[in-house]
Amino acid sequence: MIEIYKEKILEHYRKPRNFGIMENADLYAKDVNPGCGDEFEVYIKLDDKDNNKIKEIKFNGKGCVISTASASILSEFVKNKTIEEVEKLDREDVLKLLGIDLNPARIKCALLPLIVIKASLKTHPKFCRGWDLNPRRD
């Protein structure tokens, strides 16, 4: 692993960007990697003027160095991106952002944050037409 990338990963692990809980998030999702126990939740606030653009993102949870660094790096990368742009992100994009080679087990760790981000996007009304997201419980 090239030293500069190793330092980048460790820096994002030690001081993760956008770590925390967001009140009044527009989108939310949570997931776990049962193989290693990494667990993350994502909160997204959409732009008030463009309900299709990510204005703010927070993540919370616990994970290994790779998954936490991936969540931090991805959270910075997706800010100001449209939902469509984020939906197009894939494994290769995550690995490129991380800048390191990973074995198959660690790839799962690196991809968990993207999986959770994409799951949160599925709660956007654009993807939920016809669903009753707030059913009344009488």
User: What is residue 15's three-state secondary structure?
Assistant: coil
pLDDT at 135: 43
pTM of the model: 0.86
Section 134-138 average pLDDT: 41
- Across the chain, what does the average pLDDT equal? 88
Tokens of 31: 């997931």
Q: For 3-124, which CATH class?
A: alpha beta
pLDDT at 19: 98
All structural domains of the chain with their residue ranges: 3-124
